[in-house]
């Protein structure tokens, strides 16, 4: 029975722990998490019944799968603290932006099984999107164990590591773009008299439903758009304004800027 450890117990770690427990991937007593925030540890222990500690050493020694769920700037410090304590066959899951697999190996000072993952915040409601890549030491069965964890809080896709910067723009950072879109839709609705609570609910549900249409029907987004745009109707009028104002080019420019920033951070 594998023990899954978390160093760092913030929101993303909690989302992952929740998915593991709800999916019965391992029993709760086979999960251990460390954090300096005692309140955070108390919350996750009470909610899921996992083991907790303020000592990273305990997690490092016990873990068969070790999730490094601390901020990127803390990776070097944490790894230096635990590098001599982790098991030789541990699978390290790294979820920090800008930290490549080779960076992990260099920080640990030895070859280890590494899976690099880029999740996103919708993991907190079980609708995350995680992209992952691995080094050659991780075998198919071990990778499936990691995928099971990731699919406990959403969907997961394997990509080449060279594409991880693009992934950050596409799914890691993109919830922020969608929140801006929902907020703008709601503001327009409020301007025309709709109560704000109803405006947010309607706009958000429309985005959720549209996304599910793309995922579940397999129909091209352009074709789905055309299905809503009746000749001479209201929707095509709105679409024409979005085209005039440069919605597509703005999104593409923003995402490419995000990708380039991620590349800079990786250097």
Q: What is the CATH number of the domain that holds 237?
A: 1.10.3730.10
Domain annotation covers residue 53? yes
Q: How far apart are CA 30 and CA 91, in angstroms?
A: 15
2 — pLDDT class (breaks 50, 70, 90): confident
Distant-in-sequence, close-in-space partners of 8: CB < 8 Å, separation ≥ 6? 33, 34, 35, 67, 68, 69, 70, 71, 78
Shared domain check, 119 and 83: yes
Tell me the per-residue pLDDT of 55-110, one tens digit each, with 9 for 90 and over: 999 999 999 999 999 999 999 999 999 999 999 999 999 998 888 999 999 999 99
1 — pLDDT class (breaks 50, 70, 90): low
**Quick one: average pLDDT of 27-47?**
93
Shared domain check, 98 and 17: yes
Shared domain check, 131 and 12: yes
Tell me the per-residue pLDDT of 161-181, one tens digit each, with 9 for 90 and over: 999 999 999 999 999 999 999
Q: Could you tell me the CA-to-CA distances from 82 to 29, 78, 111, 112 in Å, in that order?
A: 22, 6, 15, 13
183 — pLDDT class (breaks 50, 70, 90): very high
Domain annotation covers residue 200? yes
Pairing of strands 128-134, 113-118: antiparallel
Shared domain check, 155 and 38: yes
* Residue at a domain's end among 113, 140, 160: 160
Shared domain check, 248 and 221: yes
* Residue at a domain's end among 160, 182, 206: 160
Shared domain check, 178 and 89: no
Shared domain check, 102 and 232: no
Q: Could you tell me the CA-to-CA distances from 193 to 48, 71, 188, 204 in Å, in that order?
A: 44, 43, 9, 18
Report residue 157 as tokens: 């896709």
User: pTM higher than 0.85, yes or no?
Assistant: yes
Widest Cα–Cα separation across the chain: 69
The secondary structure of 141-181, three-state, reads HHHHHHHHHHHHHEEEEECCHHHHHHHHHHHHCHHHHHHHH
Q: How far apart are CA 247 and CA 244, in angstroms?
A: 8
- Provide the CATH number for the domain around residue 125: 3.40.50.720
Shared domain check, 115 and 179: no
Range of the domain at 71: 4-160
Shared domain check, 35 and 155: yes
């Amino acid at each position: 029975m594998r023990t899954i450890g978390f160093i760092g117990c913030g929101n993303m770690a909690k989302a992952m722990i929740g998915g593991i427990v709800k999916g019965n991937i391992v029993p709760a007593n086979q999960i251990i998490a460390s954090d300096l925030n005692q309140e955070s540890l108390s919350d996750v222990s009470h909610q899921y019944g996992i083991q907790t500690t303020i000592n990273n050493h305990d997690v490092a020694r016990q873990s068969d799968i070790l999730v490094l769920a601390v901020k990127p700037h803390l990776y070097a410090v944490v790894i230096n603290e635990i590098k001599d304590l982790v098991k030789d066959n541990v699978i390290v899951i790294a979820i920090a932006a800008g930290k490549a697999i080779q960076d992990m190996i260099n920080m640990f000072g030895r070859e280890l099984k590494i899976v690099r993952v880029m999740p996103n915040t919708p993991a907190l409601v079980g609708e995350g999107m995680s992209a992952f890549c691995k080094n050659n030491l991780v075998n198919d069965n071990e990778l499936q164990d990691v995928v099971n964890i990731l699919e406990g809080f959403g969907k997961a896709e394997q990509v080449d590591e060279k594409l991880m910067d693009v992934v950050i723009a596409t799914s890691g950072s993109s919830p922020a773009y969608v929140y801006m879109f929902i907020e703008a839709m709601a503001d327009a609705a409020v301007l025309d008299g709709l109560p704000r609570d109803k405006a947010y609910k309607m706009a958000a549900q429309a985005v959720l439903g549209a996304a599910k249409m793309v995922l579940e029907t397999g129909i091209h987004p352009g074709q789905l758009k055309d299905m809503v745009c009746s000749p001479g109707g209201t929707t095509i009028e709105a679409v024409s304004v979005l085209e005039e104002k440069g919605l597509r080019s703005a999104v593409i420019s923003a995402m490419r800027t995000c990708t380039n920033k991620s590349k800079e951070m990786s250097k």
